[in-house]
Chain A
Amino acid sequence: MGKTIYNEHLREELVYHRLKNGLKIYILVKPGYSRQFAIYAARYGSNDSQFVPLGAKEPIVVPDGIAHFLEHKLFEEEEGNVFQEYSGLGAQPNAFTNFNMTAYHFTSTGKFHKCLDVLLGFVGRPYFTDENVEKEKGIIAQEIGMYQDNPYWRTFSNLLKGMYHSYPVKMDIAGTVESISKIDKEILYECYRTFYNPSNMVLFLAGDIDPDRIINQVEKLFDGKPKSKAEGEIERIFPKEKKGVSKHKIVDKLAVSMPMFALGFKDRDVTQGGERLLKKIVANEIILDMLAGPSSETYNELYDEGLIDSSFDTGYTGEVNYGYSVISGQSRDPEGVASVLYEKIKELKYKPWEQEHFDRIRKKKIGEVIRLFNTLDSVSIQFVSMGFKDIALFDYLRGIETAGFEDIIKEFNQLYREDSSTLSVILSN
């Protein structure tokens, strides 16, 4: 029924099918697995705070944190709570909202088709009342408070605030206690109608499961329902982000044992996703490992001097419209670490990397992708989030295998510059 895509290298089979209403279904067949994992996600995150509502002409601005608020509220039903329904089936449900997507998922080890009915059912059935919206504000305020105390999160949140002038990624995903106080049921319904359309959603399933039976089941579920037709592209409005960072340094204080830091490099070369973004992601992951990974000169010098420990980490985030690299960790002297990193970056301009180093890191990255397919939830989440950027996960492996040394050098010279960086530090109070 669906289209089967087989990847020789990974020895993995993926079935794809698109419903008439635009919903994309992917099934990763994993023989021998005890668990099944399902994720139903909307391309709708905290960044989508300005858009033209479905059927309207003029754009509106909604309170920060509403996508996350909506995620919480969907679990509530007119008759009780979805958690109870899942519990009876022995499944473990959960959900998350990030800057670009909202996802509902469950892990089961039996009764998979029933669980799938529950998932598609409650996400398709919003039930907001004045009372239940008010109640949720208390719970989310507690959640926001919990994040405020988390130094890792604060370091990162401040970094984004420092790097961006106006792009909504600078706002916290959950919003603020003040912003969520403005949320009411009407505005929740408006967001729901616009973004929770099958054509703006993906269903990804993994496990020892039967693709034909699933596709049939889902098709029947949507048949004749109001959402059986595909909607057009949603008009999202994003402010034009200025080049350069808003602040070069942000320092904050919390009860931490040792200062924490995150050094970010803001990418000016932004994309609309697809092949070009894939290339960027691969290039930057390799670059960061070569620059500051565990076998690099930088890492080992800093470690031997006691300036960093094993919490030291790097990563590149590549999204539609924005991107940045982060180098983070704990250190008694974050400024010292930053200046060593700036120094190394300058040095690399006239004493470049060797091909052998590049080949080794590329092997490491290939291993990482193969390893990812061991874990159903990680691979599924990765697949969906890449999909929203028009990148197929199987292509990711190909991207690594075909990455060129010259591309790496070019990307390195483009992005890693002191003048487009922000240092976020949390000091001990």
Chain B
Amino acid sequence: MKVVIKYELDKDLNLHVIPDEKFKTVYISYCFHMDLDENYTYNALVPAVLKRGCEGYERQEEINKHLEGKYGSLFDVGVQKRGERQILRFTMDLVNEIYVGMDGLIAQSLYFLNRIISKPVTEGSIFKKDYVNQEKENLKHKIQAMVNDKLEYSMERCIQEMCKDEKYARYVFGSIKELDSLDQNKLYDIYRNMIAACPLDIFVAGDVDPEKISILVKNSMEIERTHRKIIPETIIKKIGVKQRELIEDMDISQAKLNIGLRTNTSVNDKGYFPLVLYTSILGGGPHSKLFMNVREKHSLAYYAFAKMDKYKGILILGSGLDTNNYRQALDIIMQQCKDISMGKITEAEFTASINAIMTSVRGINDDPEGLVDYYLGNVVTGAKYSLEDFIEEIQKVKPENVVEVSKHIKTDLIYLLKPEEAVI
């Protein structure tokens, strides 16, 4: 199991190094934390504009030529939703110097990322307008493209409706309306505020020497910090939830059913590990109740799963089915939840779930990006569990703990996306 070495470089600015000699690449990620507030569309646009160019590499073409010459270093930016915050990420994944005999690759990558983040191409005191306008269009398309993947789309719609009055309903890539009335000055101000004040975590994973990395990161730092921005915590508990049903139409051939549940349990609650287990027993793979009953026993769906968003304490039960089977599938799915809360968990289901979780968690050790995601998750939630701790905790869970946590789980929204012509 890998250790993480943490360096506090400044207030709200930490470096986390995960040394592991088996990796052939070095994965570097600068992660800024931002509130999922009313400026979420602006937040989503900032990294896309920064990606277009910086001092020394003003055009995308120059950036790409530079990266290709470095044995195809992968550079990317992105925005992720982690509970009620957006994480703006600037990432570089490079081949370790020792495999290509090219010294200084890590240092060069750090300098490059710093330049991208802090020395954008500007016109006066705003970003270069061409870049903003193009990336605004691209982001619009990205938002519209949500409909292309029906599974993702139906899940997102379920969450949007379920959390209608909460920050969490906001789509990670922003809203088209906001983009249409974009204020270029405001965009630049939000960017300046991000680099000056928002919490920043830097991760480096690979076959590296942590001490050397900490010096390289400090020396390459061009980001000036002036004040602190506190990001509010995600609201997880919701009382007075009433079960609702929403049916929408689309030009599709297979219906998608998504059931949104409130777990009212956060990562730091004692019910968290039992909840992880609950999710696995219910719909965490071929051993699960949903898979066995909805798919195998009744052949009602090609897929049926339970997916937890630990950052918001939401559970989504998803399946793809024929509209004719909707009521029957819904009944069977709900029955599985009831069965767990009544303690109807077989030993085989329980053991298989623990084993499945352990395999996934141990597997994170083999994936630099996965390791960074896991430890970034800890920063977001304030949890302190290493991968090893996680495995230890999950093994302590008893079936009665799973039954106990299921009492806090409430059905919120039953969302069905069905073909236009189909009748229920």
Residues of chain A at the chain B interface (Cβ within 8 Å): 9-11, 30-35, 81, 83-84, 86-93, 107-110, 135, 138-139, 142-143, 145-146, 148-152, 254-258, 293-295, 297, 300, 303-304, 306, 309-310, 330, 360-361, 363-368, 370-371, 373-376, 429
Partner of B359, one of A92, A258, A293, A376: A92
Asked if B302 and A142 make an inter-chain contact with CB atoms under 8 angstroms apart, the answer reads yes
Q: Provide the residues of chain A in CB contact with B322, threshold 8 Å.
A: 142
Beyond A92-B285, A151-B148, A300-B60, 7 additional contacts (C-beta under 8 Å) are: A84-B287, A92-B356, A142-B301, A295-B61, A304-B134, A363-B70, A373-B24
Segment from B110-118, B188-196, B250-258 that makes contact with A: B250-258
B59 contacts A by Cβ under 8 Å: yes
Note all chain A residues with C-beta closer than 8 A to B61.
Answer: 295, 297, 300
Indicate if the CB atoms of A87 and B68 lie closer than 8 Å. Answer: no
Select the stretch in B155-163, B361-369, B402-410 that faces chain A.
B361-369
* Chain B 350-394 interface 0/1 with A at a Cβ cutoff of 8 Å (1 = within): 011011101110110111100000000000000000000000000
B71 in the interface, Cβ–Cβ < 8 Å? Answer: yes
| B178 on interface, CB distance cutoff 8 Å | no
In the complex, whether B95 has a CB less than 8 A from a CB of chain A is: yes
Could you list 20 A-B pairs, sorted by A, with CB under 8 Å?
A32-B22, A33-B22, A33-B365, A84-B287, A87-B355, A90-B358, A93-B286, A142-B320, A145-B302, A148-B253, A148-B254, A150-B149, A150-B150, A295-B61, A309-B138, A360-B65, A360-B68, A364-B71, A367-B95, A376-B366
Closest to B320 in A: A146
Question: Which residues of A sit under 8 angstroms from B37, Cβ to Cβ?
Answer: none
Q: Quick check: which of B119-127, B139-147, B227-235, B335-343 contacts chain A, the rest being far away?
A: B139-147
Q: How far is the CB of B87 from chain A (nearest CB, A)?
A: 19
Judge whether B64 and A294 touch: CB under 8 Å: yes
Given contact pairs A92-B285, A149-B252, A370-B99, A361 touches B68 in the complex (Cβ within 8 A): yes
Q: Is the CB of B286 within 8 A of A35?
A: no
- CA of A255 to CA of B420 in the docked complex: distance in angstroms? 12
Measured in the bound complex, the distance between the Cα atoms of B68 and A309 in whole Å is 19
Cβ contacts B282-318/A at 8 Å (1 or 0 each): 0001110001000110010110000000000000000
Measured CA separation A135–B360 after assembly (Å): 31
Checking B72, B351, B360 against A88 with a beta-carbon cut-off of 8 angstroms, the contacting residue is B351
Give every chain A residue within 8 A of B359 (Cβ-Cβ).
35, 90-92, 107-110
Closest to A10 in B: B99
A297 to B60, CA, bound (A): 11
Interface residues on B, range: 35 or more
Return the chain A residue nearest B143 by Cβ. A257
With contacts A258-B145, A374-B25 taken as known, whether A366 is within 8 angstroms of B348 at the C-beta atoms is: no
Q: Are A371's CB and B352's CB within 8 A? A: no
Q: A91-B359, A108-B359, A109-B359 are in contact. Are A371 and B348 (CB under 8 A)?
A: no
On chain B, the residues within 8 Å of A89 by CB distance are 355
Q: How far is the CA of A330 from the CA of B145 in the complex (A)?
A: 10
Which residues of B lie under 8 Å from residue A304 when comparing CB positions? Answer: 130, 134
Bound Cα distance A107, B22 (Å): 18
- The answer for the CA separation of A81 and B147 in the assembled complex, in Å, is 35
The answer to whether A256 and B100 touch across the interface, beta carbons within 8 angstroms, is no
- Give which listed residue, A35, A297, A366, contacts B363 with CB less than 8 A: A35
> Roughly how many angstroms separate A146 CA and B319 CA in the complex, as a whole number?
11
Does B23 touch A at the CB level, under 8 Å? yes
Q: Is A306's CB under 8 angstroms from B24's CB?
A: no
The 8 Å CB contact of A306, one of B134, B254, B287, B355, is: B134
With A84-B348, A87-B355 already in contact, the answer to whether A256 and B147 are too (CB < 8 A) is: yes
- Complex CA distance for A294 and B51, rounded to whole angstroms: 13
Say yes or no: is B137 at the interface (Cβ < 8 Å to chain A): yes
Top 4 A-B pairs ranked by shortest CB distance? A90-B355, A367-B71, A364-B72, A87-B287
In the bound complex, what is the Cα–Cα distance between A77 and B352 (angstroms)? Answer: 19
Bound Cα distance from A142 to B304, whole angstroms = 12
B55 within 8 A of A: no
Contact residue among A145, A293, A364 (Cβ-Cβ distance under 8 Å from B253) = A145
Which residues from A are CB-within-8-Å of B25? 370-371, 374
Q: Is B240 in contact with chain A by the CB < 8 A criterion?
A: no
Set of chain B residues within 8 Å of A109, measured between Cβ atoms: 358-359, 362-363
Query: Do A143 and B352 touch (CB < 8 A)?
Result: no
Measured between beta carbons, the chain A residues less than 8 angstroms from B266 are none
Contacts of B301 in A (CB 8 A): 142
The answer to whether residues A139 and B299 also contact, given A255-B250, A257-B146 and a CB cut-off of 8 A, is yes
Q: How many A-B residue pairs have CB under 8 A?
A: 177
CB pair A371 B285 closer than 8 Å: no
Name, among B25, B145, B295, the residue most crowded by chain A CB atoms within 10 Å (CB to CB). B145
Residues of B contacting A368 in the complex (Cβ-Cβ under 8 angstroms):
72
| B6-43 CB contacts (< 8 Å) to partner A | 20-25
Asked if B104 is at the interface (CB within 8 A of a chain A CB), the reply is no
Among candidates B20, B286, B366, residue contacting A83 with C-beta atoms closer than 8 Å: B286
Contact indicator B355/A255 (Cβ below 8 Å): no
Known A88-B348, A149-B150, A295-B64: A143·B134 in contact at CB below 8 Å: no
In the docked arrangement, what's the CA distance between A87 and B354, Å? 10
- What residue of chain A has the Cβ atom nearest to residue B420's Cβ? A255
Q: Which A residues lie within 8 Å of B299 (CB)?
A: 135, 138-139
Contact B302 A87 (CB under 8 A): no
Counting CB contacts under 8 A, is B321 at the interface?
A: yes
Given the known A-B contacts A11-B99, A135-B299, are A87 and B285 also in contact in the complex, defined by CB atoms under 8 Å?
yes
- 0/1 interface trace, chain B 245-279, chain A, CB 8 Å (1 if under): 00000111110000000000000000000000000
Could you say which residues of chain A place their CB within 8 Å of the CB of B71? 363-364, 366-367, 370
Of the candidates A92, A254, A370, A376, which one forms a contact with B95 in the assembled complex, judged by CB atoms under 8 Å apart? A370
When chains A and B are docked, how far (Å) is the Cα of A363 from the Cα of B94? 12
Q: Which residues of B contact A86 (CB under 8 A)?
A: 286
Question: Given the complex, which residues of A lie within 8 Å of B362, measured CB to CB?
Answer: 34-35, 109-110
Least CB distance, A138 to chain B, in whole angstroms = 5
- A367-B366 contact, Cβ under 8 Å, with A88-B355, A146-B254, A374-B23: no
**Is A33's CB under 8 angstroms from B366's CB?**
yes
Chain A residues within an 8 Å CB radius of B144? 257-258
CA distance A300 to B63 in the complex (A): 11
The answer to the question of B91 belonging to the interface, with a C-beta cut-off of 8 Å to chain A, is no
- Nearest CB in chain B: distance from A68 CB, A: 13
Q: Which residue of B lies closest to A82 (CB)?
A: B286
Which residue among A91, A145, A150 has the maximum number of chain B CB atoms within 10 Å of its CB? A145
Q: Which residues of A contact B352 (CB under 8 A)?
A: 84, 87-88, 90
Nearest Cβ distance between residue B183 and chain A, in whole angstroms? 21
Chain A residues lying within 8 Å of B348, measured Cβ to Cβ, are 84, 87-88
Tell me, in angstroms, the Cα distance from A304 to B64 when the chains sit together: 15
- Interface hits, B68-97 → A, CB 8 Å: 68-73, 93, 95
Whether A145 and B60, one on each chain, are in contact in the complex, defined by CB atoms closer than 8 angstroms, is no
**Which residues on the B side are within 8 Å of A310 (C-beta)?**
138
Q: Please state if B147 and A257 are interface contacts (CB–CB under 8 Å).
A: yes
Q: Do A306 and B65 touch (CB < 8 A)?
A: no
Are the C-beta atoms of A363 and B366 separated by less than 8 Å?
no
Q: Min CB distance, B217 to chain A, in Å?
A: 22
* Among candidates A146, A254, A370, residue contacting B302 with C-beta atoms closer than 8 Å: A146
| Complex CA–CA separation, A374 to B61 (angstroms) | 28
Measured CB to CB, the nearest residue on chain B to A75 is B286
Alpha-carbon distance A304/B137, docked complex (angstroms): 11
For B286, give its contact among A87, A139, A367 (CB under 8 Å).
A87
Residues of B contacting A110 with CB < 8 Å?
359, 362
* Residue of A83, A257, A365 touching B145 (CB-CB under 8 A): A257
- Complex Cα distance A93/B356, Å? 11
